[in-house]
Structure formats: C-alpha cells, structure tokens
A and B are shown apart, each in its own frame.
Chain A
C-alpha cells in the first residue's frame, strides 16, 4: 500500500490504554479491517487512538448508561448486562486473552502470525475461548463495534485518519448546499471528503449555512 498519511500529532499518544494493550489492539484491529490495495487498514487509520479516546471519555465509564444492580446473566435479547464498564472490559479481556495466547502459543497475541491472529479472533467471536471473567464473544462484539466506528466516524475522534474509511466507500463527508438540487440526479457524484475536523481546524471554509464547498472528482474515484 503506497498511501502516505499526513502527520497526526496525537497519533502515538494514549490517555487510557497501556502499552501492551495498544500492541494488542493494533494487531487485532488490523486483522478486522486489514490494509489492502484499496486503502490502509484500521491500525494506520488510527482506530486504536479512537478506542483510547472513547474509553477515556464518558462512554468508557458508561456515564449515560444504567449502572445499578443486581447484575444477572441476561438473554441475548436483553443486551449489555455486564457490571463492567467498557474501560474495565478492555483491560480485563486483553489481559486474559494475552494470558491464553502465552499458555497456548508461548507469546502474547500481538506477536502471533497474522493467520494465527485471525484464527484467534474467529474463536473469540464464536465464544470458543474460555476467559476467566467474561464471554469472549462479548468482548469481540464490543471490539468490532468500536473498530467499525473508529474507521468510519469523523476524524475528529482520532480514527479514520485522512478520511481513509470515507474514501474507501466514496462518502464525501459533510454535505454541500448543492445536494438540494443533486437529490434528483442519476449521475454519480464524487468529491474529496470534508470532515468536521477539517472545518474546526480551519482547513476548509464553510458558507453562511455551515456547508463546505466540495472539490468534485470528475469521472469517479481518485
């Protein structure tokens, strides 16, 4: 993959995550959304920074979630019933999965081959890895949800660096006022994406209604 990403001043800094956790997550998210000929993968897109910022924020401590007991095992239909916050889920699960990898393969998850990492993620997803403190599927589902969010949310949140997720889809990010007329168009519309981060940092200007002007790409994708 030839794409060169711009400097990201917060790229290598973490608020909540610790070094072994960063290594674990960089390896895991790269298997979930791998680098290929289409675009950089989740690791280079900053998804681990995204997860770190989410864990350090209100969601990481379930600030707006109901947190009173009793804590009973629910049905799948009853949703999240763990007494642990996302911060705790990540810390506990990563330690226990790394322990499992050391016992089974003699090294932590981040040092396994790509194939072995993928295989282990598949086992986590199917709840086939017996962790001491939680269902491995429960952790996997949370990790996958956050990985997808990090790859496709506004770069404001630390992931989707250089809008690689949006370029992969052909999603132009913020709308322009031209959409009012383009709503009826049968012509594919392609533009270089614009993010909230672009506008907040002054890289892109907006009109009085708050809409940016797009750089239209003629003839489809870059």
Chain B
C-alpha cells in the first residue's frame, strides 16, 4: 500500500478528549501548528444530542455509538498471570469513549482535585508509619510533583471547565462551608456550589451528628450560565438526569465539545482530523527522536504525519498500547519487576450503602450535574491509618445522579432477583431509597499490569492490549472499613432497612463499575520506575509527551478527570514555555 505523507507540523496530538483538546488549544493559541487525530466520529452538540432524544437510558447506557466500538478494537483481560486473557467482547465494567470529545464527553462532571497527600503517598506514608506499613508487592510511588507548582494549573482547568464549589482552604485559611481537608487553593471556584437536595440535607445532618464536616462537593456542570477562560458560553444545568454516560443536551456539562472545541476550531493553526486510527509513533534511526505518527484515515489510506513534537493524549489504554506498539520505553516484565511501560496499571475502588425508608419519599429521578453532599474525613491521610492497617481512603457522598429505571432501582438484601416479590420491592423502594456512595483509592501492585496480547488482534491486525488485574487485600480491607463507617451514617439517617453494593473479591468485566482506568505510563523522578518525567515527557524520546490518566502512579479516591485536565494544562505550559525554547529533556 502506498503511504501518503502530510505536510509536517509543529505538534501532532493523538486523541481529542480532555487532554487532546486542551493541549491543542494551548499550543495552537501560542502560534504552533497543531494537527489533532481522533479515531471517533465528529458530533455536533447542538443537533446530535438534542432533547428529548438524549433522554434515553437504554441507548446511552447499553448501546451507544459514543463508546468504543469493540468490533474493531478492545482489550483482553485476566485476573492473574496464571490465566489466559480473553477479549472483552461487550462493554461492561468501563466505557471508554470513541468520539471527538473523548471519554469525558459522557463523564459525570465529578470535578474534585486530588489532595496534596495523594501526590506524595510513598514518602508521607513511610514518614508517618514506616516503610514496612506498605504491602511488599505494592509499587506505591510519589508523582514527583509539588502542590504549589501544580495548584495554578488546577485553577486554570477549573476556569476552563467552569467548576462550581465552595473553597474549604484559601491559602491555608480554613473556610466555613467548604471541604476543610482539601489542599490550599489560590482563589475561590469560578462558579458557586451546587444546591443541596433533600437527601443531601439528611446526609449532612447525620454526618454532622457523628462529628464530620459535610460540604457540597465540586461539579463541572454549570451552576449558573458561565463564560469560561476560552470565552465559550455554557448554560446552567437543569438537573434532568440522563447525565453520566450521556452527552448533555443543554451543553451544561463541561467537556471538550462544550468548553474547548468552539474556541479551538477558530484557531488558524489548528486542524482536527476525525476517523483517523493511529497505528504507531515513528522514530528516527537513533530511536531517541519521534518523527511523527502513522495512521489509517477514514478512507483506509495509510498516512504519515510528521511533527516536531508528538503528544499522546488518548485514553489510558490507548496511550500505553501506542507506546508498546511503537517500541518506546522498556515494556514491564512482572517476573523481574523491570521495565516501565505497562507498569502500575490501576483502577478505582468504591461501593455504596443503600438506606431504605418506609416513611420518606424522594424524587430520585431529579439530579445529574453531580449535585452532591460529601465528607472527606476518610480520604487521604486525614485519620490515622496506623491502627487500621491499610493505606488509602475514600470520600463519601449523597449524590443525585438522576436514578434511571433500568439500572437505578436498588432493593433490600434478601429480595428475589425477579418475579412477584421482586416487582413489589422495586415498586415500593424506587422512591424511598437514598444511597451513600463511597469512592476509594486503588494502589498499584507488581501483579497488575498492561502488555500486548500474544493471541488476539484488532481490525487493523495489531495485537490487543492485555490487562492483568485483580483487587488486593489492602483495598478490600479499606472498603470493609469504609462500609462500616458509611453504614453508621446510614443508621443515623434512620432507615428501615440497609443494603448496598461492593465490587467483590475479584475484579470482573460484567456490570458497570467505573471508567477510571489509570496508569501504565506513569510519571515519576526515576526512569527505572516511571515511563515519563514530571512533565509527562518520555525519558527515552524527549519530543514525545504521554499525557493523561496513564501517568497516574496509583489512583487516589477523588476521580481522575480534574487531575487529567490539570496535567494537560501543566504539560502544555512546559512545552510552550520551556521545551520549544530548548528542545530536549526537561528534567
């Protein structure tokens, strides 16, 4: 097949999600020529996701064409190295996106910063509890980032995504109404906090009675009409439900389509190419310099796009797989513990405590826009982990998701799965239940990693990514403790019956859990334990930046998107302020 070469550009960006869109915007607006390659389709927010057709649970939860088309590309999965990995044939535990706007086009708008502790877990845990407190097979690592250097980039991202909230710590001074355990902020949120629901108020009262400090957790669904840093207008959230997994018909949920693309498409040095599947990053004869990428365009042509800088800004899985397919960085070998690409793959723990009432009735269908009342006492390292014997934590919240009728009907334990009794139970409980959600950390372990599958291939003939992953004792103990604490709050709420969900002992692909897959090309200070440096620049190929959730050494409790957005702002600044002036290793 003949190969077409496109005109070289300054930067080629792979992926158009949070990372791809923001980095393209930052670099193009600095005058650099930028081509962004996206494997998915282009959608128009004004016509493709209009109400009422978007208010369709079946389509957007089960069959949507905004998720990755697994018939062309999926991954294989096994719980441990002794098993044969088999392909993920249908979407289940997580839902990576496949569209201009990426996975974050259908996120839930949970816009929490990580805590300062999260970036320095290894050193802080060792200092407080000693080295032996960390499980032996746990690859706990610091990120190599200081809170003070990244705080301005959290602030920048919040002013792009219009995050609403109430500061709990302004320059070290604790603020009434906010989260007292958050890291110091340089200024208030750009938008006011969400309003409290009935369920949120009950949760807050019960939490206060136990000595905790409830607050309205941040949201990136607009709490008022808002014009962002890029001069893009977003409208106030209507709380009509159909939020997570859906693209917002009102354009009220900040995402690349609503918050970035309208400004980015006006940049004269920017070009977006949808329906382009990138096969590999190309290197020169030294192997130390990326020359660009090779991709298959919509018509099936093989195209080479040369560029001075290559940014991998795709989903965690695609970033790691492209490094492996391109032979960049040493692949991780679990037998020796050597190698870095694919190392420290991690996920998200969590669960819920459901509180069933007979004498209270709620409006569970009103919600969406991440309206939540939260507590952070069990997050980070707020309480002493010493007597508890585990690392990590969780935040709890009462969140109004907009309970949809296929999946949003919890029933008390002991209810049959179907039949007459089940039917009576869903009818009685749908409007009489509130849940306390727990969102927890997941550490990284020697046995959990990503590599290329030896058997299964994608539609382009390339090996699928192989995931080897299971839960470890630290996470199971942590969730056991968290469930006890959340149940105490549930009892203080005065429910008639209690139930809930946990992720079980073994991770499995069946049933939705969380699209918070992270790691595999992690950042750090040591090239023997990280694939990229603190600017997410490849240690081996300095004109390659691998940016996104793939850079997390392990997964904190708070949900990854806000930090992924912060890292995009941080990496873009490093490129335009430092790298272009002196191309080469920044560290």
**A residues neighboring B (CB under 8 Å):** 31-34, 36, 38-39, 58-59, 62-68, 70, 72, 74-81, 118, 121, 125, 144, 147-149, 152-154, 156-157, 165-166, 168-177, 179-180, 182-186, 188-189, 196, 199-200, 206, 209-212
What is the CB-to-nearest-CB distance from A50 to chain B, in angstroms, rounded to a whole number? 9
Residues B71 and A67 in contact, CB atoms below 8 Å apart: yes
Kindly list chain B residues whose C-beta atoms are within 8 Å of the C-beta of A171.
365, 405, 430
Given contacts A36-B420, A65-B70, contact A79 B371 (CB under 8 A): no
Q: For residue B155, give the distance in angstroms from its CB to the closest CB of chain A.
A: 27
| Complex contacts, A33 vs chain B, CB 8 Å | 418-419, 423
Residues of A within 8 A of B238 (CB): 175, 177, 179-180, 209, 211
Question: Are A209 and B250 closer than 8 Å at their CB atoms?
Answer: yes
- A183 with B366, Cβ < 8 A, contacts A66-B87, A80-B90, A81-B89 known: yes
- Residue pair A81, B249 in contact (C-beta under 8 Å): no
Specify the main secondary structure of chain B where it touches its partner.
Answer: loop
Q: Is the Cβ of B507 less than 8 Å from the Cβ of A32?
A: no
**Contact flag A179-B366 (CB < 8 Å), given A168-B426, A171-B405:** yes
CB-nearest residue of chain A relative to B74?
A66
A176 to B419, CA, bound (A): 32
B356-398 vs A, CB cutoff 8 Å, 1 = contact: the mask equals 0000011101110001000000000000000000000000000
Residue of B nearest to A31 (CB): B419
Asked whether A179 lies within 8 Å of B240 as measured between CB atoms, the reply is: yes
CB distance from A113 to the nearest CB of B (A): 15
Query: Which stretch of B124-132, B193-201, B275-283, B337-345 is in the interface?
Result: B193-201
B63 at the interface (CB under 8 A from A): yes
Measured in the bound complex, the distance between the Cα atoms of B363 and A196 in whole Å is 20
Contacts A76-B510, A77-B506, A210-B249 given; 20 further ones with Cβ under 8 A?
A32-B419, A36-B423, A38-B427, A59-B62, A66-B90, A75-B83, A77-B507, A78-B77, A121-B418, A166-B405, A169-B431, A175-B55, A175-B242, A175-B365, A175-B402, A179-B240, A180-B238, A183-B400, A185-B198, A209-B250
Q: How far apart sit A200 and B87, CA to CA, in the bound complex (Å)?
A: 38
Chain A binding site: helix, strand, loop or mixed by DSSP? loop
Contact check, A180 vs B236: say whether CB atoms are below 8 A apart: yes
Contact with A along B50-75 (1 / 0, CB 8 A): 11110111100011010001110010
7 contacts between A and B (CB under 8 A): A74-B86, A81-B89, A153-B405, A154-B56, A154-B57, A156-B56, A185-B366
A118/B52 in contact, CB under 8 A: no
Interface size on B, residues (CB 8 A): 70
- Beta-carbon contact of A212 and B198 below 8 Å: no
Question: Nearest chain-B residue to A170 (Cβ)?
Answer: B431
How many Å lie between the Cα of A158 and that of B306 in the bound state? Answer: 51
A36 to B419, CA, bound (A): 11
Given A79-B508, A188-B431, answer yes or no on A183-B423 (Cβ-Cβ < 8 Å). Answer: no
CB of B508 within 8 A of CB of A209, answer: no
Cα A125 to Cα B70 in complex, Å, equals 28
Inter-chain contact B89/A79, CB cutoff 8 Å: yes
Q: Which of B55, B196, B236, B417 contacts A184 (CB 8 A)?
A: B196
Which of A156, A173, A209 has the most CB atoms of chain B within a 10 A radius of its CB? A209
B424 at the interface (CB under 8 A from A): yes
B87 near A68: Cβ-Cβ < 8 Å: yes
The answer, yes or no, to whether B41 is at the interface (CB within 8 Å) is: no
A153-B51 in contact (CB<8A): no
Mark out the residues of chain B between 397 and 432 whose CB falls within 8 Å of any chain A CB in the assembled complex: 400, 402, 405-406, 409, 417-420, 423-424, 426-427, 430-431
Alpha-carbon distance between A64 and B86 when the two chains are bound, in angstroms: 17
Interface pair A182/B52, CB less than 8 Å apart: no
Task: For A183, list chain B residues within 8 Å (CB).
Answer: 195, 197, 239, 366-367, 371, 400
